[in-house]
Amino acid sequence: MKIHIYYGGRGLIEDSNLYVLSRITEVLEELRVEVKRYNLYECKSEIAVLANGVTEADGVILAASVEWYGIGGLLQQFLDDCWLYADKSKMTKLYMMPVVISSTYGEREAEQNLMKSWELLGGCLCPGITAYVESQADFETSANYAKVMENRAENLYRTINQKIQALPSSTFALKQKIVKSAPMELTPQESEQLSKYVSDDTYVKKQKEDIEELSQLFKGLMDRAETGRDAGQEFVRNIREAFQPPMEDIKAVFEIRMTDTGKTLVVDVNRSQLKCYYGESSYSDVVATTTRAVINRLVTGRTTFQGAFMSGELSAKGDFKTLRVFDQLFQFDQK
């Protein structure tokens, strides 16, 4: 029996998901199960290849670490690629157990997201592990919690070994009647080519350079088309006009770095006072890194700060509680 673990967290030492996965792995290996774990943060350029080979296992564990909101971009990308590249005829016999460990609110919603996604892919579900961890030490030293993990791992083994059939699901019926995915049957040569291109850093780098070149070309055209605007103050007026002074006492400093222009936009909120300028800040609650195109979509209401973060178009570090406040402070009208 083979079980693949796909871990969608960041691999931080304080992530209790790693402890849970190690406990599960120990139990399964004692039952002579071949367990292989894939850390998606280490395989970003190979996620499509991993999705193409997901049906090589008898069972799958999808592990999500909820640090802010949702299952995270890497695990979502993996599921998207499963929809595109995985063999749907084999997915109907593939069991999945969700493991969701949260340091904030939303572990149940994340678990439901994984389960619904897997049902739409046509796979089978096993009872998973869902937990909110406030104290890492208390969680990882609890014998009772460890017993729960061991029982769930043993249940996964029994379910796969006995091929226990699940009761009918309306989600599966909906997929059969309404949701139609375009067949993508790949020949062995095409599969090899997909693997080569996706895992070839040189090819990926060349594609990124071509996209960057086109972005710079369109950026130049847009800059020339903008009349009467000081390029050094781009986006500043949009942010000031969209500012919604908070009812509560909020102080937050956002530092937004645009990699393609080399500029840093500082947004300093102090209760009802707003300072927005290009430059550097001696202190920042949140440091975000993105591109000019993403900020342009943000200020024109075509995306949100949270949405850009979830899709991977914007990366951030700092206080994630403060990060969530941005969309409350600034409400951009769609243009």
Instruction: Using a pLDDT cut of 90, give the percent of the chain over it.
Output: 56
- Residues 90, 178, single domain; the answer is yes
Mean pLDDT check: name the lowest of 221-235, 247-261, 289-303.
Answer: 221-235
Amino acid identity at 113: N
Sign of CA dihedral 46, 48, 50, 52: negative
**SS3 readout for the chain:** CEEEEEECCCCCCCCHHHHHHHHHHHHHHHCCCEEEEEEHHHCHHHHHHHHHCHHHCCEEEEEEEECCCCCCHHHHHHHHHHHHHCCHHHHCCCEEEEEEEECCCCHHHHHHHHHHHHHHHCCEECCCEEEECCCHHHHHCCHHHHHHHHHHHHHHHHHHHHCCCCCCCHHHHHHHHCCCCCCCCCCHHHHHHHHHHHHCHHHHHHHHHHHHHHHHHHHHHHHHHCCCCCHHHCCHHHHHHHECCCCCCCEEEEEEEECCCCEEEEEEEECCEEEEEECCCCCCCEEEEECHHHHHHHHCCCCCHHHHHHHCCCEEEECHHHHCCHHHHECCCCC
Statement: residue 231 has pLDDT above 70? no
Q: Does residue 181 sit in the same domain as residue 218?
A: no
Global pTM? Answer: 0.54
> And the tokens for 126?
């096993």
Q: Is residue 130 located within the same domain as residue 261? A: no
Quick one: 164 and 240 in the same domain? Answer: no
- The answer to whether residue 308 scores a pLDDT higher than 60 is yes
pLDDT in tens, 28-56: 999 999 999 999 999 888 898 899 889 99
CB atoms within 10 A of CB 264: 18
CA distance 241 to 103: 34
Q: Is residue 229 pLDDT above 50, yes or no? A: no
Check whether residue 16 and residue 132 sit in a common domain.
yes
The rounded mean pLDDT for the chain is 85
CATH number reported for the structural domain that contains residue 48 in this entry: 3.40.50.360
Q: What is the pLDDT of residue 204?
A: 62
Mean pLDDT computed over 142-157:
94
Residue 97: inside a domain: yes
Out of 164, 190, 216, a domain closes at 190
CA-based end-to-end distance of the chain: 54
Q: Are residues 169 and 218 in the same domain?
A: no
Domain presence at residue 335? no
Total number of domains constituting the chain: 3
Task: Identify the burial level of 208 via C-beta atoms within 10 angstroms of its C-beta, where 0-12 means exposed, 13-18 middle and 19 or more buried.
Answer: exposed
Contact between 288 and 316 under an 8 Å Cβ cutoff? The reply is yes
111 occurs within a structural domain:
yes
**Per the domain annotation, does 195 fall within a domain?**
no
Residues 253 and 211 in one domain: no
CA dihedral 97, 100, 101, 105 (to 10 degrees): -160
Is the predicted pLDDT of residue 92 greater than 90, yes or no? no
Q: Check which CATH number belongs to the domain holding 255 and give it.
A: 3.30.1050.10
Query: 334 lies in a domain?
Result: no
- Residue range 99-105: mean pLDDT, rounded: 93
- Looking at the domain assignment, is residue 242 inside a domain? yes
Q: Are residues 186 and 246 both part of a single domain?
A: no
Same domain, 10 and 143: yes
Structure confidence at residue 108 as a pLDDT band (50, 70, 90)? very high
pLDDT at 228: 43
> What are 156-185's pLDDT values in tens digits?
999 998 888 777 666 666 555 555 555 455
Question: Using one digit for the tens of pLDDT, what is the confidence trace for 234-269?
Answer: 899 999 999 998 878 889 999 999 999 999 999 999
Same domain, 307 and 290: yes
Highest mean pLDDT among 191-205, 209-223, 278-292: 278-292
- Would residue 312 count as lying in a domain? yes
The residue among 94 and 210 whose pLDDT is bigger is 94
pLDDT at residue 227, rounded to an integer? 41
The boundaries of the domain holding residue 320 are 231-329
Indicate if 104 and 241 belong to the same structural domain: no
pLDDT of residue 31: 92
Residues 181 and 305 in one domain: no
Confidence of residue 154 (pLDDT cuts 50, 70, 90): very high
